[in-house]
C-alpha cells in the first residue's frame, strides 16, 4: 500500500515499516533493558560503582523511549550532548515546519524515525559518565561471532591457501566472484532483523555461494571485475554493515583484493556509535581480531596477517559521523562535503547491506525496474557497488519480470534476506 515513488513509512500498514515499529523494534529495546537489568553487577564490576545509578537511569530512559515509540508520540529535540545534535535538531525543525506539527514515529518517514531511535538510544549513554562507552549490543555481537566460528574457520582455511598461492588469471576471476558473493551472503547475518538468532549460517559458506546464485536478482559482478581490472590500482572503500561473520567475510574480500589485484589500500568505514544492533563500530573489529588470534590455527593465521595489514596502513578503519545521521546519500555532498570529497578518491566503494541500500536509493518505493543509477538520485562520488541481501521493501535496478518471479517464489521476498543484489554504478 506504499504509493509508488514515495518514501517508506509506518503509516502504510502493509509496508515492512509498520510491523517493524509495532513489533520488531520494541523487542530490540526490550532486549537492551533486559541486558542492563540482567548484567548490572558485571557492568558495575567493569565500569565502577558510579555505574550503579547510571544503569538505572539508562533503563528508565530506554523504557520511556520504547513507550514514546509504541504510543506514537512526537519526536523531540536532542540535547546538546554529541557534536551531531545541531544537524538532528535542524532536520526535526524542518519537518515540523513542513507539516505544521512535529513528526511522530508512525506518521513520518521510516528511515528518519528509525535512525532517530538509535540516536536517542545513544543519547541515553551520552548522559552518563561511567558507562558512556558501553555498547548495549556488544554481547549480542560477540555471541553471534562465537556462533559463526565454524563457518569462519572454513573460510579462513580457504583464504590462507589462496593468499599463499599464485593463481592464473582465470582462477583469479573465479575467486573474485566467489569472495564477492561470500561477502554478499555474509550480509544475511543481521541481528536487528533476526532478533538475535542467526539465520544465515546453516551451511558451508563455500557451498552457499554456488547454490544460491538464482537468488541474486541483479548481478553486476562482471562489471565490477572489469572495472577493477581495467582501472589503475587504487583505494577500495568498504562502507561496512554488520559485525561478526559479515565483517569477517568483508576482511576476506578486502585481503583478496589487495593480494590478487594489488590495490593500494582498503578503508573500512564504520559507524561512530552502536547502530542497528549489529553494525560494526571500530571496537568490534579489534575485538574480532583479538578473538581470532586466541583461537589459534587457521583463524589466528588469518587474524595475524590482517593485524599486520592494519599495522602497515594497508587496511585502515575510518569512522565518520555521517553514517549515523538519517541523511540519504543523495544529500551527502551537501551535508558532508568533506566525506563526499574523500569518497571521490576511491577506485571502488563497496556499500554493504540493507540499510546502506536504503540510503543509496533514498528509501523510496521505486518501480523495481527503475534503473539503479536513477535510484541514486545524483549520488555518484566514484564507481560503487551495493552488496545487499533484501531486508526491506525498496528496490530498483531489476530487469522486467524479476520482481514478479521472486514474488512468486516467496510473498515476503523483499524482507527475509533470502534474495540479494549486486548492483554496480559508474556513471
Ligand atoms: O530495520 C530496518 C532495516 O533496514 C531492515 O530493513 C534490516 O533488517 C535492518 O534494518 C538492517 O539490515 P542491514 O544490517 O543489512 O543493514
Ligand atoms: Mg546492519
Note the Cα 188 to chain centre separation in Å.
11
For the CA of 25, the closest atom of ligand 1 is: 1
Average pLDDT, the chain: 96
- Whether 36 and 138 have beta carbons less than 8 Å apart is answered as no
Q: Measuring from atom 13 of ligand 1, which residue has the nearest CA?
A: 354
Q: Which atom of ligand 1 is nearest to the CA of 279?
A: 14
pLDDT of residue 207: 84
Output the CA 271–ligand 1 centroid distance in Å: 15
CA nearest 394: which of 277, 421, 383? 421
Q: Tell me, what's the pLDDT at 202?
A: 64
C-alpha distance from residue 302 to each of 247, 265, 269 (Å): 13, 17, 21
- Whole-angstrom distance, CA of residue 413 vs CA of residue 281: 29
Q: Rounded to the nearest whole angstrom, what is the distance from the C-alpha of residue 302 to the centroid of ligand 2?
A: 24
Confidence class of residue 198 from pLDDT cuts 50, 70 and 90?
low
Give the nearest ligand 1 atom to 190 CA.
14
Residue 71 has pLDDT above 90, yes or no: yes
Residue 192: nearest ligand to its CA? 1
Atom of ligand 1 nearest to the CA of 193: 8
**Residue 40 CA, ligand 1 centroid: distance in Å:** 29
pLDDT in tens, 292-340: 999 999 999 999 999 999 999 999 999 999 999 999 999 999 999 999 9
- Cell numbers standing for residue 393: 521493501
Q: How far is the CA of 282 from the centre of ligand 2 (A)?
A: 14
Q: Residue by residue, what is the 3-state secondary structure of the chain?
A: CCCCCCECECCCCCCCHHHHHHHHHHHHHHHHHHHHHHCHHHHHHHHCCCHHHHHHHHHHHHHHHHHHHHCCCECCCCCCCCCCHHHHHHHHHHHHHHHCCCCECCCCEHHHHHHHHHHHHHHHHHCCCCCCCCCCCHHHHHHHHHHCHHHHHHHHHHHHHHHHCCCCHHHHHHHHHHHHHHHHHHCCCCHHHHCCCCCCCCCCHHHHHHHCHHHEEEECHHHHHHHHHHCCCCEEEEECCECCHHHHHHHHHHHHHHHHHCCCEEEEEEECCCCCCCECEHHHHHHHHHHHHHHCHHHHHHHHHHHHHHHHCCEEEEECHHHHCCCCHHHHHHHCHHHHHHHHCCCEEEEEHHHHHHHHCCCECCCCCCCHHHHCCCCCCCCEEEEEECCCCCCCCCCCCHHHHHHHHCCCCCCCCCCEEEEEECC
**Cα(358) to centroid(ligand 2), Å:** 11
Closest C-alpha to 84, from 55, 126, 134: 126
Residue 420: nearest ligand to its CA? 1
Neighbours of 186 (CB within 10 A): 31
197: confidence class by pLDDT, cuts 50, 70, 90: low
- As a whole number of angstroms, the distance between CA 285 and CA 376 comes to 29
User: Which residues lie near ion ligand 2 (Cβ < 5 Å)?
Assistant: 241-242, 276, 279
Number of the ligand closest to the Cα of 193: 1
Give pLDDT, residue 149: 94
Q: Which atom of ligand 1 is nearest to the CA of 187?
A: 15
The residue whose CA has the least distance to atom 14 of ligand 1 is 190
Pocket residues for ligand 1 (CB within 6 Å)? 20, 114, 187, 190, 192-193, 241-242, 276, 278, 353-355, 358, 391-392
Give distance in angstroms: CA of 190 to centre of ligand 2.
6
**How far, in Å, from the CA of 42 to the mean position of ligand 1?**
30
Ligand nearest to the CA of 394: 1
Nearest ligand 1 atom to the CA of 110 is: 2
Q: Is the pLDDT of residue 239 over 60?
A: yes
In the predicted structure, residue 6 carries a pLDDT above the cut 70: yes
> Is 0.95 topped by the overall pTM?
yes
Looking at residue 131, its pLDDT comes to 98
Which listed ligand is nearest to 118 at the C-alpha? 1
Mutation probe of ligand 1 site: the residue of 24, 392, 415, 419 with most atoms within 8 A of C-beta: 392
Give me the mean pLDDT over the 119-128 stretch. 98
61 pLDDT more than 60: yes
Q: How far is the CA of 359 from the centre of ligand 2 (A)?
A: 12
Q: Length of the chain in residues, anyone? A: 427
- Rounded to the nearest whole angstrom, what is the distance from the C-alpha of residue 168 to the centroid of ligand 2? 36
Q: What is the mean pLDDT of residues 75-88?
A: 97
CA of 380 to the centre of ligand 2 (A): 23
**Is residue 196 very low, low, confident or very high in pLDDT (cuts 50, 70, 90)?**
low
* 200 pLDDT above the threshold of 80: no
Ligand sitting nearest the alpha carbon of 356:
1
Given a cut of 80, whether residue 44 has pLDDT beyond it is: yes
Q: CA–CA separation, 107 vs 49, rounded Å?
A: 42
Q: Which atom of ligand 1 is nearest to the CA of 388?
A: 15
Atom of ligand 1 nearest to the CA of 16: 6
Measure 209 CA to ligand 2 centroid, in angstroms.
21
Amino acid at each position: 500500500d506504499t504509493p509508488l515513488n514515495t518514501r517508506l513509512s509506518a503509516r502504510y500498514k502493509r509496508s515492512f515499516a509498520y510491523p517493524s515499529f509495532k513489533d520488531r523494534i520494541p523487542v530490540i529495546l526490550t532486549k537492551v533493558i533486559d541486558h542492563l537489568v540482567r548484567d548490572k553487577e558485571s557492568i558495575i564490576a567493569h565500569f565502577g560503582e558510579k555505574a550503579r545509578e547510571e544503569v538505572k537511569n539508562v533503563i528508565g530512559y530506554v523504557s520511556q523511549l520504547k513507550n514514546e515509540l509504541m504510543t506514537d508520540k512526537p519526536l523531540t529535540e536532542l540535547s546538546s550532548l554529541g557534536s551531531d545534535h545541531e544537524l538532528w535538531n535542524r532536520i526535526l525543525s524542518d519537518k515540523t515546519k513542513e507539516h505544521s506539527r512535529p513528526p511522530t514515529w508512525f506518521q513520518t518517514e521510516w528511515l528518519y524515525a528509525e535512525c532517530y531511535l538509535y540516536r536517542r538510544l545513544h543519547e541515553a549513554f551520552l548522559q552518563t559518565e561511567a558507562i558512556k562507552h558501553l555498547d548495549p549490543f556488544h554481547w549480542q555481537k560477540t555471541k553471534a561471532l562465537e556462533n559463526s566460528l565454524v563457518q569462519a574457520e572454513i573460510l579462513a582455511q580457504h583464504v590462507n591457501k589462496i593468499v599463499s598461492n599464485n593463481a592464473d588469471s582465470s582462477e583469479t576471476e573465479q575467486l573474485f566472484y566467489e569472495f564477492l558473493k561470500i561477502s554478499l551472503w555474509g550480509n544475511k547475518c543481521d541481528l536487528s532483523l533476526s532478533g538475535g538468532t542467526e539465520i544465515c549460517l546453516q551451511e558451508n559458506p563455500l557451498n552457499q555461494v554456488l547454490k544460491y546464485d538464482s537468488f541474486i536478482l541483479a548481478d553486476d559482478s562482471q562489471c565490477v571485475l572489469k572495472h577493477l581490472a581495467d582501472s589503475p590500482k587504487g583505494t577500495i572503500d568498504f562502507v561496512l554493515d554488520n559485525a561478526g561473520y559479515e565483517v569477517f567475510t568483508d576482511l576476506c574480500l578486502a585481503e583478496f583484493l589487495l593480494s590478487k589485484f594489488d590495490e593500494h589500500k582498503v578503508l573500512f568505514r564504520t559507524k561512530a556509535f552502536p547502530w542497528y544492533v549489529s553494525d560494526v563500530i571500530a571496537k568490534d573489529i579489534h575485538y574480532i581480531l583479538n578473538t581470532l588470534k586466541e583461537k589459534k590455527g587457521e583463524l589466528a593465521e588469518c587474524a595475524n596477517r590482517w593485524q599486520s595489514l592494519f599495522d602497515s596502513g594497508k587496511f585502515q578503519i575510518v569512522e565518520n559521523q555521517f553514517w549515523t545521521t538519517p541523511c540519504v546519500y543523495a544529500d551527502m555532498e551537501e551535508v558532508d562535503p568533506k566525506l563526499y570529497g574523500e569518497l571521490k578518491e576511491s577506485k571502488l566503494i563497496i556499500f554493504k547491506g540493507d540499510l546502506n541500500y536504503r540510503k543509496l536509493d533514498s528509501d523510496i518505493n521505486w518501480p523495481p525496474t527503475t534503473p539503479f543509477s536513477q535510484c541514486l538520485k545524483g549520488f555518484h562520488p566514484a564507481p560503487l557497488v551495493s552488496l545487499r541481501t533484501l531486508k526491506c521493501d525498496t528496490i530498483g535496478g531489476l530487469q522486467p519480470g524479476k520482481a514478479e518471479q521472486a514474488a512468486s517464489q516467496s510473498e515476503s521476498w523483499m524482507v527475509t534476506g533470502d534474495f540479494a543484489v549486486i548492483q554496480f554504478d559508474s556513471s
